[in-house]
Structure 1
Amino acid sequence: MDHAGVAVVVGPAPRVAALGLARRAVYVPLAVEVAAAAESDPLAGQRRTAGIVDAVTHGLGLAKVTALVATEPGDRVSLIVALPRAGDPDEALAAACAAMLGEVRRVDGVRGVVIGAGTISETLLDTAYGLPHAAHVAEVALSLRTSASRPFYRSGDVRLRGLLSLIRAEPGVQRFAETELSALLRYDIRHDADLTRTLRQFLDLAGNKTELARRLGISRPTLYERLARIARILEVDLDDGESRTSLHTALLIRDLTASPGQG
């Protein structure tokens, strides 16, 4: 299927051949990762996948760039995009990704979508080797809890979460997260509380208590009492940098284990 200068290759990976790609270009591997409502009807799932591919190719057409596009399991779309050598490739890439995101978000059932990018290369072969990395970045980016919107993510944008996603299934990593958080999780269950959420926001804000009290809509004395209770339950010092790092890491591991890629 050829759509707006985009070669669409249905299968597990695109063939490394310049089918319809612009000449005198540089190339970048991309992965479009989608969070969507579960489909019990296989035909409905196929229609949605087709709709996502159409949206991706339409977005590329709007941005006036060419690409090889391949469908992947789980509504993921992999691409090798050709970018002009003139000008800033990242600017052209950002425009293309923004156009694709805008179109994919219109597809029925799509709840979220991100794009992971690999390294820009001058050869198709090197670019194809970067597709798994782009897919990993996209999977991790979809799990990020952030209001910031990026046209695409690279490995530097997913940072610690990216590393943890690679080792989240290791038994030692699981034990670490359980040891760090189990006492607080049990307290929340027994007392119908939500101290784990308070702890997460405290760590996300790097310990900014004034901002946290504002976000939670509570007084600072009430917040201080809540944080002191968390510290007693976990038997940690929340003013200690290493303790904060350990707890934040454990929360990230729990997120990735509970719903990898779905955030």
Structure 2
Amino acid sequence: MTTTWEPALSVRQVLTLERVLAGEPEVVAGAGQLDRLVRWVHVAEAADVGVMLSGGEMVLTTGVLLAGDESAQAEYIRSLHRAEAAAVVLGLGRAFPAAPEVMRRAAERCGLPMVVLHRPFPFAELTEEVQSRLVRRKFAAVSLSESVRTALTGLITAGAPLQRLLDEVAQHSACPVVVTNLAHRVLATAGERPAVDDVLRDWERISRQAGGSEGDGWIRAELGGRGERWGQIVLCGHRGDTATGRLLADRAAEALVLHRMLGGNSACTWEEQSAQSLLTDLVSGVVPARQLLPRARAAGLPVNRRTFVPLVVRDGDPAQLDRVLRMLGLPGIVAELADSATAVLLSLARDQDATVLAANFATRLRSEAPGTIVAAADPRAGWDDVPAGLREARHVAEAVADALDLPAVVRLRDVHLRGLVRLLRDDPHVQSFAERELDGLLGDPQEDLLAVLRTYLATGRNKSRTAQLHHVSRPALYRRLEAIQARLGVDLDDFEQAASVHIALLAHDAQQG
């Protein structure tokens, strides 16, 4: 990717220079065009100066060759306009003691800024001042470009994630940075959180309308390669000059394309990372849900007047879950959490049956992947309740990881005692209780009596079912149960003693993950 960045000062900036102010400048025409960029300063008295220009010059003249010829004066201004000069500065003196009306009117019609200097002023001083500033800006631009490129390349070489690169870009640009796909869906952001949230709050509208003008500080650079576009990076509200913003955006785009190529990433992967970041923040509760709402909306999740269904799937493939959502036409986002758990947040219309649609999703998923467990919290009518719902669904998924005969969608009411024990698993008293109750079986490598005990209690002390599941005869099972009772010193036919052992076993399993 090549950069056409050139350093420049605006006409307005030139007129505020101390040396220029000494000449008492007055803008007599084209006052609405003072933000034009000055690429160079050119001193010329020739009437046909326009043919010598290449665009962007501020032309300084005394007009000595134009005095007395109004047609030449008008043509002089028109030639500067055709050459796309930035402005014309006329030093008043013997040739023109006041601003010539013909030149003023012509400049106003062309929209060319025309400035007169009321005090004698050495043009060489203005030229020296502006040229030196432009040269310094050019070297500063080269330095900035290399600094940004070096920093980003170093991060890529070190294997830094996408977010770290964007944080670096945001630090250099001092404004929110947003990466989107071609549908304007936000894939990643960086910058000060309040400023980013302000940008995302109405992203769909401003990204397509107000965000289209670089004059508003919205600088875009396309992401892609080999003739294929797959996204863009946007500097939102960059307060520096446009040229610097373009440089930063171009350098950032180069780095992101390189990051994708070297890391084997794709735009889809970035979308997954965006969903994972959002759902992880929701589950953790570290960031208030209200602050995450702009990110959810910008990521394409419908949030207005919706019913949210928090789901957590154990042993499910995120890509498969996402495919099932699309197949069923269910709006939602999917993100992999820890411990083989994947969060799914459905966003349904208020008139849709959340229970039925969640069951349809679970049934379709389990038909493709029979070993998955789909846990759900009750539907949430408000966004602020979503974090608690996701945590509840995760708790349910953990509590039923090894339970038998589960419904298609498992809810809190289905986990009973197992769920309570899971919540209390880190309590030292519970840990001590489990160790004490199961001491005779723990750490025994000879026989898998603990597994038999687990099945026996999970089936409601059904000996036939336990024998069947362990592929042993009933007499063999009886011998194992007798060994278990002897080691634990309990009578499993006694309900209270069996319940105590069952609770201890649930706590042990919860502690072991």
- State the TM-score, normalized to the length of structure 1: 0.71
Q: Equivalent residue for 1:49?
A: none
Alignment partner of 1:137 is 2:402: no
- SS of the residue 2:410 aligns to: coil
Q: Output the amino acid matched with 1:168.
A: R
Q: Equivalent residue for 1:203?
A: 457
Write the deviation string for residues 120-174 of structure 1: whole angstroms up to 9, x where unpaired.
Answer: 1222222244222222222333x2242x354432112222222112221222211
Write the deviation string for residues 165-201 of structure 1: whole angstroms up to 9, x where unpaired.
Answer: 2221222211111111111336x44xx2333333223
- SS of the residue 2:281 aligns to: coil
Q: Is the 8 A contact 2:380 2:389 kept in 1?
A: no
CA RMSD across the alignment: 3.3
| Distance (whole Å) between structure 2 residues aligned to residue 102 and residue 200 of structure 1 | 27
Residues 121 and 244 from structure 1, CA distance in 2 versus in 1: closer, same or farther, beyond 3 angstroms? same
Counterparts of residues 225-240 of structure 1 (less than 5 Å): 225-240=479-494
Q: Equivalent residue for 1:176?
A: 433
Q: Equivalent residue for 2:343?
A: 78
Residues 216 and 171 from structure 1, CA distance in 2 versus in 1: closer, same or farther, beyond 3 angstroms? same
| Distance (whole Å) between structure 2 residues aligned to residue 181 and residue 10 of structure 1 | 39
Write the deviation string for residues 16-59 of structure 1: whole angstroms up to 9, x where unpaired.
Answer: 25434286542212223337xxxxxxxxxxxxxxxx44332221
Structure 2 residue ranges without an equivalent (≥5): 1-180, 186-267, 283-291
| Distance (whole Å) between structure 2 residues aligned to residue 172 and residue 182 of structure 1 | 15
| Distance (whole Å) between structure 2 residues aligned to residue 10 and residue 228 of structure 1 | 49
Which segment is superposed worse, 54-63 or 224-233? 224-233
Q: Is the 8 A contact 1:83 1:93 kept in 2?
A: no
| Distance (whole Å) between structure 2 residues aligned to residue 223 and residue 34 of structure 1 | 31
Cα deviation, residue 62, structure 1: 0.7
Structure 1 residue ranges without an equivalent (≥5): 36-51, 106-110
Q: Equivalent residue for 2:411?
A: 154
- SS of the residue 1:32 aligns to: strand
Q: Equivalent residue for 1:193?
A: 447
Q: Equivalent residue for 2:325?
A: 60
Q: Equivalent residue for 1:33?
A: 314
| Distance (whole Å) between structure 2 residues aligned to residue 125 and residue 101 of structure 1 | 30
| Distance (whole Å) between structure 1 residues aligned to residue 402 and residue 385 of structure 2 | 28
| Distance (whole Å) between structure 2 residues aligned to residue 128 and residue 171 of structure 1 | 28
Q: Is the 8 A contact 1:13 1:78 kept in 2?
A: no
- SS of the residue 1:245 aligns to: helix
Q: Output the amino acid matched with 1:64.
A: G
Residues 64 and 208 from structure 1, CA distance in 2 versus in 1: closer, same or farther, beyond 3 angstroms? same
| Distance (whole Å) between structure 2 residues aligned to residue 242 and residue 220 of structure 1 | 24
- State the TM-score, normalized to the length of structure 2: 0.39
Cα deviation, residue 242, structure 1: 0.8
Q: Is the 8 A contact 1:137 1:155 kept in 2?
A: yes
